[in-house]
Chain A
Amino acid sequence: MNNSEIKSDFKTMIKSEFEKLQNSLNGSSGSEINLARKDEFSSFFVKGIPTIKFENWKYTNLTFLNKLDLKVQDGSEDVSDINIKELYYSEVDSHKIVLVNGIYSKELSDFFEVDGLDLEIINTTSSTDLGKYSSYYGKLTHNSGHPFAEINTALSKSVLVIEIKENKVVDKPIQIINITDASKHGVFTNPRILVICKKSSSCKIIETNYTVGNNPGVKNIVKEIFLEENANLNYYKIQDDTEYSHTFDYTQAYQLRDSHFDEAAVSLNGKFIRNDLRTILDSENIESHYYGIFIGSNSDLIDNHTFVDHAKPNCYSNENYRGILFDKSTGVFNGKIMVRPDAQKTNAYQSNKNVLLSPYAVINTKPELEIYADDVKCSHGATSGALDENSKFYLQTRGIGEKQAEILLLNAFAAEVIGEIKIEKLRNLVLSRIEDKLNMVYN
């Protein structure tokens, strides 16, 4: 038997990669970073890859991971083929930071001194101490219980830190361009990002994702986001990737008094997307808004798991997710809202509307409210169904063909969420990509 033909399963691959990493560490193996790495690895290893028997993974079958031929990859030797100017969302006027397989590429980035912003790249295999970032890094993912966040902490070798300084308003959006280079072989990557918004700062971040090459790319990205007092952050995550892309995205935010956090997840293209978005509202007068639009075709799976954790009184949260599902695609929305005993006068709202355009398309939507305070306003609603026949007929009686009528209605359905994107250029690009996608599916 030829040994090279035996594919190891995913869990074994993670284990051997973890051991390889441990063996390569010299002086830093006893560092705080590495202790966390070991903890998170063992926490993962005990559970293994979640099966559909895990409540949080009930509708999201991960057995495909064992079928893909993957290598854990950090960075890429050759990025000369990549020109970020040609990337679709590059048109948005922004400071551009490029990560290739999770590693910062100075060569590809278009980023110079930005007033009010510190950009740091920390190599977590050689550093023994995170210095001023030690009170941030890993503090939110610690005890997440999330297997992929654990894998990321165990294996990631570099952290991109974006710190927005006190009272500073960043002049234009920051664009984080995640490139997954799968041109030579299938890859599993672990990008890691830490965003710190200091007191009264304000910033907009766009995250775009591209997979290069025709081999499977599995990206396991983890973001920790801190919003200190009165800080303001808009984070727009654009998942408009290729059919070879598979994404695990774990985003954990922590908010303090008077802060405002907007997250929009625009999932347009990709074979597999699992987003976990969690926020702890840990002081008063905080606002959190989550928006999402997902469009599935073929056999795509798009899963959004959200968790809004109201820990203190007088805060506001709102979630609005919309799904459009064609062919044999599957959508999952699970929205957990926790209102802890202290969190009186909480306003928490959630809505998930879905349009199914094929008898084989599936949506699994579930609100999960846990309310332990008695003076709160919470609401949730979920709908799923076909397009409204009366609306379609009305358009047809005005000479608009059936397909065109459906495209018009679906564009409008999506546009209500896209309207929340506060960067006009980005908003228009997204709208036109949605239109392209709908035209493609219909023709």
Chain B
Amino acid sequence: MSVRYETVIGLEVHAQLLTESKIFCGCSTKFGLPPNSQTCPVCTGMPGSLPVLNEKALLFTIKTGLAMNCGIAPFSRFARKNYFYPDLPKGYQISQYELPVCERGHVEINTGEGFLTRRIGITRIHLEEDAGKNIHEGAGPYSFVDLNRAGTPLMEIVSEPDLRSPKEASAYMRKLRAILRYIGVCDGNMEQGSLRCDANISIRPEGSTKLGTKVELKNMNSFKFVEKALEYEIKRQTSAVKNGEAIIQETRLWDTSTGKTHAMRSKEEAHDYRYFPEPDLVPFMPAREWVEEIKAGIPELPDARRVRFIAAHGLSEYDAEMLTSERALADWFEESVKLGAQPKAASNWIMGELMRLLNEDGISIEESPLAPAGLVELLKLMDSGTISGKIAKTVFDGMYRSKKSADQIIKEQGLVQISGADELGAVIDQIIAANPGETGRFRAGEEKLFGFFVGQAMKATRGKGNPAMINELLRKKLAGN
């Protein structure tokens, strides 16, 4: 019997904080501006310049720690991580080493098997500065250094080696992203690099409690690539072990174009970062009252909200999970319910039509041209029979595109449902008269032709006929009385 292997994964996630200014100076963190326009003596590492901590960055880190059930260290300090690279102006990164801001937390992830959740441990969350960017372009022999990003605040969230599959790793990333966005500390954009992920992965025979030799994976800039890189790495490691080869402790890079990972540097080549306490910054002791104040400012988080949506609004697990994945989406839903929408109907419209339109336009719910009040108006018009469900979709589309009210669109396009028995009766009489063959066959028992008559009636009313009424009248008139 062949040995089965278990995968052990731990993630190091870097999240760029949504502060307006950099972590140790007053420069803007704005993205996409001309190279080196957002710099000063501090973030360019000028001789004699000194860092001063942006308190907002510390606040955001504490907030994240609290949202992820961490303990907040009563005493914490920065450390220098020393290495040479052109995008690192001081020759060291100000980071944290032995005394991070947050320690020992956890998040719950959906395992993908039903709606069971699993608790993933968080070892630590620490605060550090980002480096600049090296740009290799143009024909000359030069590389360019852009220090606009240097000094942007980053949080590093380190998980325990609790993840057992690429799917879990991706679910964990999604959960972190959701929480970070809920509490407003990071925009979670992986493509732009405001959320980045390195993975430590090893395999071991099932049942073993000893960890295998780990490999560090870098350069995975989407959820999809995280899964793919890990899947590839499991295959590579498993076949290596089966062939009797030893796994080498090394750093490997994910290559999107080949769909493979390749070795970047071995353990022997790994940097000795020579960490030591940062003497330019004083250690900090967050006051307990301050931490409590931050805690009080944390909104209801996705897990709690999902549970509440199921209990209070009668939503399915799936709908609740989807609606609570983004705070703004859940807010949108709740707002519409508050304004009188039936929860299940609102959920269906949001997850169906609204998400479809937003996805088509590639915009977020925050940018939606349609407000919850619009959906509620539309639902009321349906309930009152003013428009049919089919017409409602057209109206919804119109509201989204033109920002006009449902009422206005219905009036302009003459979309009011025809429910008058006389008007509809006349239409149906005409159809029966115009289709003697079909009428005869139906009356002779060819029941399936009923659909044909419904279609004709809808066509004649350009979809505005009240379907229930059409059904009723057709039955009556086709029966011959």
Q: Do A and B originate from a single complex?
A: no
Which residues of B pack against A, CB within 8 Å?
none
A residues contacting B by CB (< 8 A) are: none
